[in-house]
Amino acid sequence: MSLPIKPIPQLQELYREPERMNERVAMIRLDRNERLSPFPVSVFVDMMRNITPATISTYPDPTPLYGCLARLTGLSEDNFFFTNGSDAAIRMILQAFISPGDTLVLTSPTYAMLPVYARIFRANVVEVPYDENVQLDLTRLEQLIDARPRMVAIPNPDQPTGTVIAPDVLRGLVARAEKMGVLFVIDEAYFPFYPQSAITWVKDYSNLLVTRSYSKAWGLSGLRLGVMAGSPELVNYASRVRGLHEVNTFAAHLGCYLMDHPEVVDAYVAEVDLGREALRQGAKAMGLGFPICHTNFQLMRCPGIDTAKVVESMKRRGYLIKGGFRAPAIRDCIRATVGPADLMHRFLGDLKLSFEEQSKKS
């Protein structure tokens, strides 16, 4: 019998959940921070106006995306590369700049794909954990930068914590890293829920790459559109590991539409703000902690409650949420995507029933 064919060593013990989405269809999906209300019909019709049969029969042209983002940011088109979601941008950056054994500094917990890609590219990961107040030890982070790692990667806001590093502090970290010859990556997946952006800083720092997603505030999760921004040299290096046609035609068309119609995004951000306030009031009435989250998701502290059981109970009621976190800073938290206020009120009612169910069982 022939020997079994095995992958490279770093993949043999790496488990990835299969992408089977069929169970999500009938559920209220509060687990992946998608847009929770549909685009208004008039907006959707307008978005699709220029889609023709020929549009889907030719290879995509992402060129207009570059012009749109350049106009919005004042940067050059050479400062950008559009990708198949922001996770593709992150993968390309690690693939282009990390060699086996290089040190990569990450927060803990953080965006799930960062440690996955770190393992695939065999980085030596050093973590800066959040404390019980969901704050980073910035002194420790500065010390790690001074030790000259290859790269520091920080989502801002971070995920799943929803926390941010203040702009002046973050800029100081980027400058410190530049002096040490350290590549600094900032993921802004939740812009403009958190409107403080570092994207224009790429004009000032030669070591900075910023990534963004169009899946959250823009509501294009199904189209997989992301972007990286940096100096033309860094962007060029990272883009050399790209596949053909990273961005599909629908993503290119609709990404441009939404960048040209910021009022659509602004309206949804305002809708989420109202939904968060409804959620805050309801959580307070239930005695739940409500940490500040600068995103379209919200952590809620549930002292004395098994959050993994809450997740299962809410699933039986038709909701998908996150909980059962291992990180000490958020171990007693559940996390839900924030959407329209009426949906949040309905969610709170079912969450209360879930807690009551657990109380009876205990």
pLDDT tens digits, 58-92: 999 999 999 999 999 999 999 999 999 999 999 99
Strand pairing category for 297-301 and 333-337: antiparallel
**According to the model, what pLDDT value does residue 12 have?**
87
Catalogue the E-assigned strands of 72-122: 80-83, 103-108
pLDDT tens digits, 155-209: 999 999 999 999 999 999 999 999 999 999 999 999 999 999 999 999 999 999 9
- In the numeric block, which tokens belong to residue 91? 């993968």
User: Is residue 25 predicted with pLDDT exceeding 70?
Assistant: yes
Mean pLDDT of the 264-277 span: 98
- Residue showing tokens 């559009």: 82
User: Is residue 6 predicted with pLDDT exceeding 90?
Assistant: no
In this structure, the answer to whether residues 220 and 269 fall within a common structural domain is no
In this structure, the answer to whether residues 155 and 181 fall within a common structural domain is yes
In this structure, the answer to whether residues 106 and 94 fall within a common structural domain is yes
- Residues of the chain by 3-state class (helix, strand, coil), percent to 5: 45, 15, 40
In this structure, the answer to whether residues 34 and 70 fall within a common structural domain is no
In this structure, the answer to whether residues 182 and 320 fall within a common structural domain is no
Catalogue the E-assigned strands of 242-314: 297-301
CATH number reported for the structural domain that contains residue 302 in this entry: 3.90.1150.10
Mean pLDDT of the chain: 95
pLDDT grade for 138, boundaries at 50, 70 and 90: very high
Residue 21's domain spans which residues?
A: 9-39+263-361
* Contact criterion met (CB below 8 Å) for 226 and 82: yes
SS3 183: strand
Which H helix or E strand runs over 211?
strand 208-213
In this structure, the answer to whether residues 205 and 346 fall within a common structural domain is no
In this structure, the answer to whether residues 179 and 326 fall within a common structural domain is no
User: Is residue 1 predicted with pLDDT exceeding 60?
Assistant: no
Residue 2, in any domain of the structure: no
In this structure, the answer to whether residues 204 and 86 fall within a common structural domain is yes
How far apart CA 305 and CA 308 sit, in angstroms, is 9
Residues 6+ apart with CB under 8 A from 74: 200
User: Is residue 3 predicted with pLDDT exceeding 70?
Assistant: no
In this structure, the answer to whether residues 142 and 71 fall within a common structural domain is yes
Residue 4, in any domain of the structure: no
How far apart CA 348 and CA 339 sit, in angstroms, is 12
Q: Which of residues 236, 261, 286 is at a domain's end?
A: 261
Q: What are the C-alpha distances in Å from 227 to residues 6, 180, 187, 270?
A: 34, 26, 10, 24
pLDDT tens digits, 96-129: 999 999 999 999 999 999 999 999 999 999 999 9
Least confidently predicted of 6-10, 18-22, 300-304: 18-22
CATH number reported for the structural domain that contains residue 103 in this entry: 3.40.640.10
User: Is residue 273 predicted with pLDDT exceeding 70?
Assistant: yes
**According to the model, what pLDDT value does residue 24 have?**
84
- Residue showing tokens 């989420």: 272
If one counts the domains in the chain, the total is 2
